């Protein structure tokens, strides 16, 4: 895609279009309204619960409890899985031996 070549007059027109631009300014009482809203106290039960939950001590405590529960479940799972592996391995081996047929088996099929 080729770049469009601008003439001197077009460039001057583009640059002059910014002459009337002024800095944007907020409404007259925006800062006052923002400060009043931030200082307004909200004593609802949901705001108190939210304030309690967002505390770092609470977040760290819940995370530690979650990790301890996961570690407990994993350790119990691994200690039980050792016993189950031996039993399940023997069961599978017995089933495999009973289901396989060799060429030495007697097939007493009658035509």
- Residue spans of the chain under pLDDT 70: 1-2, 80-86, 97-111
**Within a domain: 7:** no
Q: Cβ–Cβ contacts within 10 Å for residue 2, how many? A: 4
**Does residue 94 fall inside a structural domain?**
yes
Q: Considering the domain boundaries, does residue 66 fall inside one?
A: yes
Domain count, the chain: 1
* CA dist., res. 100 & res. 85, Å (int): 22
Q: What whole-number distance in Å separates Cα of residue 5 and Cα of residue 79?
A: 76
Structure tokens, 46: 């949901």
Q: Which residue range forms the structural domain that includes residue 90?
A: 56-98
Average pLDDT, the chain: 80
80/73 Cα distance (integer angstroms): 11
pTM exceeds 0.75 for this model? no
């Amino acid at each position: 895609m080729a770049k469009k070549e601008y003439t001197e007059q077009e460039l001057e027109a583009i640059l002059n279009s910014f002459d009337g631009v002024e800095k944007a300014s907020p409404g007259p009482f925006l800062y006052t309204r923002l400060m009043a809203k931030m200082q307004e106290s909200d004593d609802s039960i949901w705001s108190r619960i939210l304030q309690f939950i967002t505390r770092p001590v609470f977040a760290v405590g819940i995370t530690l409890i979650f990790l301890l529960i996961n570690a407990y479940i994993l350790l119990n799972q691994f200690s039980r899985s050792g016993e189950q592996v031996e039993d399940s391995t023997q069961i599978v081996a017995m089933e495999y031996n009973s289901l396989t047929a060799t060429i030495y088996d007697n097939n007493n099929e009658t035509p």
